[in-house]
Amino acid sequence: MNKYVIIGGVAGGASVAARLRRMDEQARIILIEKGPYISYANCGLPYYIGETIPQREKLFVQSVPGFAQRFRVEIRTLSEAVAVLPKQKTVRIRETESGNTYEETYDKLVLSPGALPVVPDWPGVQSEGIFTLRDVQDTDRIKQYIQEKEVESAVIIGGGFIGLEMAENLCMAGLEVSLVEKQPQVMGSIDLEMANFIHQKLYDNGVALYLGKGVSRFEREADGLRVTLDNGERIDCGMALLCIGVRPHTELARAAGLRIGETGGIAVNAHMQTSDPDIYALGDAVEIPHRLLQKPVLLPLAGPANKEARIVADNMVLGNRHTYNGCIGTSIAKVFDLHVASVGLNEKLLQKEGLPYAVSHTHSASHATYYPQSKMIDLKLLFHPENGRLWGAQAVGSQGVDKRIEMIAQVLRLNGNVTDLCETEQAYAPPFASAKDPVNMAGFVADNILAGRCRVVQWQEVAHRNAEQSLLLDVRTPLEYAAGHLPDAMNMEVDHLREHLSELPKDKDIIIYCAIGLRGYLACRILSQHGFTRVYNLSGGFRTYQMAVKKF
């Protein structure tokens, strides 16, 4: 009879335990968890604080008694693994309530310790009213503090996934919310022009944004907290929440002499084995290969962790038959009624890695526009400028964003290119999509760029253009132009363009734009076939430019 010990009982560890039992009915399986709960929904914690999930018990996928009964697993909660002794194949465990310590042997060991919140060494950071959010106990403390102290305002430090979700949910709980982010934008997985849609949504919902500003110190005042920023600004609040990020929980692995990778996570091979063949590891604590970058990364997401758990369990029982082939970083977040998703590489990463890329922006309807309640999906595509291989995509909107990013993710995962997007099939009926889906449209636009049918410029190039060497041509209607246009732009509606060709210069760059890029493309095709050789279309049109240059 095999004896398996698993350290960590949340998503990854509990999934390993359940799969092990399904694969080996005779095995002895022991699950060690430092906290009082197992198998709960980390990702749902912010929504319980905001009461979108009103019942606390909904956070628990399984109770300890229920899980133990169904899978016949020995679950030891409130038990901390304090040392792993690989040579003896032993784990030293301390019972947190009694302080008693004992040792447990294993045939195979699984490390699923997760990650720890980053807490910088700022003055006053240990003051009352400053929290992190990582587990159910954190959630209970935050919710209790808000109720008991009658908290009316909060400052969130960090604009990643948890910070954004907490901004929404604290607003839903009735608090005034400020969000401080040291970078010029929130959500680092996307680029600035896409992040500005989030900034606008936060602003519209009353969240005060402090972008490009870091924290200097915290001070406890008689009636709450004072947060001082590195530029001297001060924010008074009832509580603060640190959402700066997480770091892999590797202390056990380090002390056991297991290899730590270049990213700071536990190094594992393709079978999810550590440097000790009898110890496997998974989840937020390990580094995994990025399929596009071809190098290890940290990716603290629940999806990869659960897939890794299945592979770990199978390999422990069957031998190393299965491999984990890496990730592409598919993710999504909800910010009020805005859905923000991304997959693959963004511009910042492409530039850092020195990879060549081209960019297209498209704005398409979530389903047929003649069917009620169609919504705009803003989609950014990044691809190789020569062979069209997909590098990544980002999408924002209030409907259908998840479906589109997942369609692109499957093409990207199989090393697909923009032609594959042109040919991607979707389930079409007017309530669900258009005959030319937003993913197809993104592929068509990228294909036109690759084929040289239309040269594009990006919003940054237009913002810094040489006005003496270029002409901005707005091909929208006069009514649209009057409602707002780029400085110094000439208005010439696309439907009447052919009658006014003589009014346009051939010795200057002509940068054409419309609302979203479609009419601009038509105008480019007209001019390029009438002898104009210096014609460019503004990618994404006025909508992308206007959002990209907006200051918050």
Just list the catalytic residues. Answer: 43
Residue with tokens 């972008």: 211
Strand partners, 260: 266
* Cβ count near 270 (within 10 Å): 15
Residue among 60, 96, 99, 100 nearest 78 (CA): 96
Longest distance between any two alpha carbons in the chain, whole Å = 90
- Provide the angle, in degrees to the nearest 10, between the axes of the packed helices 302-318 and 11-23: 30
Q: What is the phi/psi pair of residue 487, to 5°? A: -55, 135
Find out whether 39 and 143 touch, Cβ atoms under 8 Å: no
Find out whether 267 and 261 touch, Cβ atoms under 8 Å: yes
Sign of CA dihedral 450, 455, 460, 461: positive
Distance of CA 529 to the CA centre of its chain: 43
The upper half-sphere exposure of residue 11, i.e. CA atoms within 13 Å in the direction of its Cβ, equals: 22
Distance of CA 322 to the CA centre of its chain: 27
> Which letter does DSSP use for residue 198 in this model?
H
Find out whether 9 and 77 touch, Cβ atoms under 8 Å: yes
Residue among 400, 383, 403, 507 nearest 449 (CA): 383
Reading the block at residue 152, the tokens are: 């009316």
CA–CA distance, 130 with 226 (Å, rounded to integer): 11
CA–CA distance, 174 with 434 (Å, rounded to integer): 39
Reading the block at residue 71, the tokens are: 């899978």
Q: What is the phi/psi pair of residue 466, to 5°? A: -90, 110
